[in-house]
Structure 1
Amino acid sequence: MSGVVQGFTVIFILIGVGYVLGRTQTLGPDAHQTLSRLVFFVFTPALLLHSLSTTDVAQIFSTTLLIAGGSAFAVGAVYFVLARTVLRREVPEAVIGALSSSYVNSANLGIPIAIFVLKDATFVAPLLLFQIVIYSPIALTMLDLTALRSGAGRITLRDTVIAPVTNPIVIGGIVGLVISLTGVTLPHAVEEPIGMLGDASVPGALLAFGLSLTGVSVLRKGESPRRDVALASVMKMVVQPILVFALAYFLFDERGHALFAQVVIAALPTAQNVLVYATRYQRGVVLARDSALVTTLVSIPVIGVIAALLA
Structure 2
Amino acid sequence: MSGVVSGFTVIFIVVGIGYVLGRTRLLGDHAHEVLSRLVFFVCTPALLFYSLVTSDLSVIFSSTLVIAGGSALAIGLVYVVVARFWLRRAVPELVIGALSSSYVNSVNLGLPIAIFVLDDATFIAPLLLFQILIYSPIALLALDLTALDRGAHRSLWRDAVVTPLTNPIVIGGVTGLVVSLIGWIPPAPVLEPLKMLGNASVPGALLAFGLSLTGVTVFKKGESPRRDIALATALKMLVMPALVYVVARWGFGQTGHQLFAQVVIGALPSAQNVMVYATRYRRGQILARDTALITTLASIPAIAIISLVLA
Classify the TM-score, shorter chain. over 0.9
Aligned-pair distance for 1:154? 7.3
Aligned-pair distance for 1:67? 0.1
Gaps of 5+ in 2: none
CA distance in 1, matches of 2:308, 2:199: 33
TM (norm. structure 2) is 0.99
Cα displacement string for residues 2-53 of structure 1 (whole angstroms, at most 9, x for unaligned residues): 1100000000000000000000000000000000000000000000010001
For residue 216 of structure 2, give the secondary structure of its aligned residue in structure 1: coil
Aligned-pair distance for 1:104? 0.2
RMSD: 1.0
For residue 242 of structure 1, give the secondary structure of its aligned residue in structure 2: helix
Give yes or no for the alignment of 1:229 onto 2:243. Answer: no
Change (3 A) 1:174 1:157: same
Q: Are 1:271 and 1:292, in contact at CA under 8 Å, matched by a contact in 2? A: yes
CA distance in 1, matches of 2:241, 2:268: 9
Task: Give the letter aligned to residue 216 of structure 1.
Answer: V
1:1-311 counterparts in 2 under 5 A? 1-149=1-149, 152=152, 156-311=156-311
Cα displacement string for residues 258-302 of structure 1 (whole angstroms, at most 9, x for unaligned residues): 000000000000000000000000000000000000000000001
TM (norm. structure 1) is 0.99
Task: Give the letter aligned to residue 89 of structure 1.
Answer: R
CA distance in 1, matches of 2:236, 2:264: 12
Q: Are 2:145 and 2:156, in contact at CA under 8 Å, matched by a contact in 1? A: no
CA distance in 1, matches of 2:5, 2:202: 18
CA distance in 1, matches of 2:155, 2:124: 36
Q: Are 1:3 and 1:117, in contact at CA under 8 Å, matched by a contact in 2? A: yes
Aligned length: 311
CA distance in 1, matches of 2:155, 2:92: 15
Aligned-pair distance for 1:149? 3.2
Aligned-pair distance for 1:134? 0.2
Aligned-pair distance for 1:83? 1.3
CA distance in 2, matches of 1:96, 1:169: 16
Change (3 A) 1:217 1:157: same
Task: Give the letter aligned to residue 235 of structure 1.
Answer: L
For residue 87 of structure 2, give the secondary structure of its aligned residue in structure 1: coil
Change (3 A) 1:242 1:208: same
For residue 86 of structure 1, give the secondary structure of its aligned residue in structure 2: helix
